[in-house]
Structure formats: C-alpha cells, structure tokens
Structure 1
Amino acid sequence: MAPDAKITVRNVSKTFRTGRGGVQALEGIDFQVGEGEFVALVGPSGCGKSTLLNMLAGFDRPDTGEALVDGRPVLAPSRKGVLITQRGSVFPWMNVQRNLGFGVNGMPEAEQESLTRHYIELVGLQGFEQAFPHELSGGMLQRVEVARALMAKPDVLYMDEPFAALDALTRLRMREELIRILERERHTCILVTHDVEEALHLADRILVISTRPGRIQRTVEVDVPHPRRLSSIRLVALREMVLSELGVTQGEDRTARPAVAGTGVQKLTAGWASDN
C-alpha cells in the first residue's frame, strides 16, 4: 500500500446470491485513492460501481479481498465517511436549520449554531434557514444534503449520482458549487456517475468499470486544472477516450454504455500540452 493512500481496495470480488444461483457483481477490483483526491467511478448500469461504493462506506462487505480506509478494514459505517445519494435523506418535517443541526445533536448549543451558520453560508442557503424541504428546489435540497454531510466532518465523501435527478442546468451549477466547496474544505471524494462529462468536470482520476462482473478497465488521469472548460481540446480528447472504453462512438449518448472487460489497468492521458 502506498504510504499516502487514504483508501485501498485490494482484490475485491462480490457475488449476489439468487434463486437461480448467483450474479457476480465485481471481480478482482484493485485501486488506491490518495488523501484529498477526487476519483470518479464510471461504467454501465449493473456493473457494480454502487456496490463498490457501498462497501467503501461500510454498508456492504466483499466476498473476497478487502477495502481499507487509513489502512484499516472497513467493516461498518463510521463517521470517517458519509454517503450522499440522489434519493436524499432530508427530513421533511424539519426546516433547513434543524436538518443541518440534527447530525450534531449533543454539541453545545452555541457551537452547533455557529457550525450550522457556517455551512448554510458555505452552500449558499442564507435566507432559507427556516424553509422546509417542500419549499425548496431540487438544487437547494441537494445543497442541504451536501451541507449535512460536511457538518459530520468526514474524511471521505462517497457520492452515488447525487445530481442525477436534477435538470441539466441545475446539475451544472451544483457541480460548480461542489468544486468551490471542495476548494475551501478539502476532502477525499469518490463519485459514482453515468455522466462522463460530470466525471471530467469534477474528478482528478476516472476509473472505467467494465460490464458485469465489474473490473477496472482503464484509469484515466484528468490532469487539467480547475476551472475546466469541457469544450477544451484536452477534455474533449479525454471524453472521447472514456467513451471509447465504454463502447460509445462519437455522436452517441454521452452517458455510460457497456464496456468489454479489459485485462488490466492502463493510464491514459491526452497528448496536448496546451489549451485547458
């Protein structure tokens, strides 16, 4: 294990038992994530990427291999990591302020109020402290989700398509918001997404996962500084590279399609030295 690895996944495999036998979701998954790194898992539906994320968050266990955070096996959910999903977990009977404060119950009241105020400002929800979930837009609700996750002071943010239910413009704005937040509060992040452009917009590195049983087909280094222009030569080249690995030709849908399992991990980078 690399000395600076925050997360290590070593030879992880998983099979789900069914009445007809079993369905192998993952096979021989190996990768590491450094402290403060943002890694995206991209692959077709049913390739096991959400299963892998749930293992890292402690909600599932591998059949073989191990997942480690800070060198220790992940055996159950802990405060070291928080999972954010598209379904959300905001309490509909609580306003924004109480939703955020719920995760830090037991903290001295003055400290709780100060922390809540900080994260409301961080995600841009000033003026909506007393609003209830049904009074908020989808983008605002996801800001509440992100703020709640950050208030738990996790080492790692696990995100399972957190913006998938939002319209395209709101998704783009939320990605920009997330980048801004992570520049101020550095966290290690793992994102599951079908959206290749979302992965390129956010991640330092993309792991392309094959069709079931999921394997790491390719590793794509997104060595482009923020702010990123998705229309830039380098990111267009990287996008076509990822889509090619997923079996999608130019002009087709940009979301993940089935990929054929590869025989190993190969790092791919764009060949241009200029134009971010």
Structure 2
Amino acid sequence: MNAGHAIKPKLGVRAATKVYHTASGDLLALDRCELDVRAKEIVSIVGPSGCGKTTLLWSMSGLHKLSAGEVVLDGERITGPHPDIGIVFQEANLLPWRNLDANINFPFEIKGTQPDRQWIQHLLRRVGLEGFGGKFPRELSGGMQQRAAIVRALSLKPSVLLMDEPFGALDSFTREEMNRLVEEIWLDAPTTIVFITHSIEEAIFLSDRVVVLTPRPGRVAKEYPVPFPRPRSLEIMATKEVFDLTNAIKMDIVGGRVGAKAKPALTVVNGGAPR
C-alpha cells in the first residue's frame, strides 16, 4: 500500500489471500498481497509463471472470491462483478454467431440498459473498426478481435479497466500496434488500468509503475516507477535507460532476487513512495 501517499487509492488490495482446494491438496496462490492503484494510473503486474498474476486480477474484478483479505474500489468492498470495473481477457471471447455490433451490445442486453451509440462509434473510430459492425469474428484478424474486446469493455464506461495479458497471442508487430493503441486511448480518455503481462518491455512501454510479484504464493515484492514521458515512441525502447530498467526487472524475476521467502512488505526502487 502507498501508506505515505496523500492521495486515496482508486483500487486497493488488502491482505489478499487465495487458496485453491484441489484433489491433490490445497494450493496457496496469493498470500497477504497488498497493492494500491491510483486513479488514472496504468500499473502493470509481472512475475514468474504461476505466481498468481491472473488470480490477483480476477480477484480485483470480483470474479474470484478471496479466501481472506479484500479488494476495495473507492473505499467500497468488491464482493462480485462491479459495473465500474471492465475486463479484457487473454482471448477476445467474442460470440462467433454474433457480428461485431451485436457482440458490443451484448453486455447492455444482459444489464437491460441502452448503449451510448455515440460513445461506441467514437471508440470504433479510435481503434480503426468503424464500418466493421456487420462482420463476424471469423472475418476479423486476431488484432481486430482484441480491439473489439477493448471497445466492448470500454463501452460500459468503467472507471477501472483490467487487462489479463490481452496481446500475448498476437505477433510482435501487432502487439506493438496494440500497445500504442492502448496508450492512445488512455491519453484520449484516461482511466485506471491494471495490466497483466509476461513481457517486461510491454509493461515498461505502457505503465506508470511496474509491480513485481514473488513466485507462488504471490505477494507484491517490488515496484518500479517508469519515468518516461508520454506519449512514448518505440524509439525510447532502444535507449539505455529502458535497457537498464528491463534488465533490473528481469533479474528480479529470473535471477532469483525476488524469492518465495521474500518479506511481505514492498520494496520501492528508483524513488517513489514507500509501502
């Protein structure tokens, strides 16, 4: 938690613990995890495979119930899916029998509310999908499907957007394009974003902070403020500053500097408020 930070967090994770009960025994996925995310901040979460990144994100969304601890949004405890929290999954999850327009309208049908057509058209133009409303998912590329998923999530105007490694299955060029798109959308209409990724470079390009989790059971071990101004160009990714930051985070993850027996308290590096 940002105990020394005067601004009240938008989203807070308090001593989040998650135990999965399996046939082979209990599995502790998260252990007293603590994290604050400020309003209109982009925070990426990285860590070793299986460290609980997705479990943490799904707990933030209200889709996974914690075994102990809590997640709070604007001081309100999250007990289930929340209208102010949108989520983009690893797969676009578009319904194959519905065209693009019908897929975007689907959440509104479930809620029994009317969509803001003007806002949706703005988003479609922003992501380059204007005129594709009658197309079915099979007629769209992987990148276009993920753009549609982002539009669907943002169409509800959530104050928090959670993204669970949404570009991991895309080729490198499309992934870079999607990273620029996310930043452009955020610059156009800033919202609070928590982004899960296995790519340290992607995390640095997108984020105001990169948070590193320990190996399972997941706890927040370190955070790295990202000091580069926005908008960010791809050229900045070739600089020594980005190389050094990437290498420092990578050494934490693969070099063993962040271990399973690390202290629960967060260590802040390169400046920033202590937790």
TM-score of the superposed pair, with normalisation by structure 2: 0.89
Corresponding position of 2:253: 246
Greater CA drift, 146-155 or 80-89: 80-89
Corresponding position of 1:22: 26
Give the conservation status (yes or no) of the 8 Å contact 1:219–1:268.
yes
* Pick aligned residue for 1:37 from 15, 22, 41: 41
1:104-183 matches, within 5 Å, as 104-105=108-109, 107=113, 112-183=116-187
Give the conservation status (yes or no) of the 8 Å contact 1:211–1:258.
no
Gaps of 5+ in 2: none
Deviation digits for residues 162-209 of structure 1 (CA, Å, limit 9, x no counterpart):
001111110010000110011111110101111111101101111101
Give the conservation status (yes or no) of the 8 Å contact 1:44–1:258.
no
Shift of 1:96: 1.7
Residues 1:103 and 1:14: Cα distance change in structure 2 (over 3 Å):
closer
Corresponding position of 2:259: 260
Corresponding position of 2:82: 78
Give the conservation status (yes or no) of the 8 Å contact 1:101–1:112.
no
Question: Is 1:190 aligned with 2:214?
Answer: no
Give the conservation status (yes or no) of the 8 Å contact 1:7–1:33.
yes
Distance 1:44 1:20 in 2: 23
Greater CA drift, 14-23 or 238-247: 14-23
Deviation digits for residues 27-51 of structure 1 (CA, Å, limit 9, x no counterpart):
1211111000111110111111111
2:270 partner amino acid: T
Question: Is 1:237 aligned with 2:241?
Answer: no
Give the conservation status (yes or no) of the 8 Å contact 1:43–1:258.
no
Corresponding position of 1:9: 13
Corresponding position of 2:227: 223
Gaps of 5+ in 1: 249-256, 271-276
Aligned CA-pair RMSD: 1.9
Q: Identical aligned pairs, as a percentage?
A: 34
Shift of 1:4: 2.4
Deviation digits for residues 69-101 of structure 1 (CA, Å, limit 9, x no counterpart):
110111000111011112222121222222223
Corresponding position of 1:273: none
Secondary structure of the equivalent of 1:198? helix
Corresponding position of 1:253: none
Shift of 1:103: 2.9
* Pick aligned residue for 1:203 from 207, 212, 233: 207
Shift of 1:154: 0.5
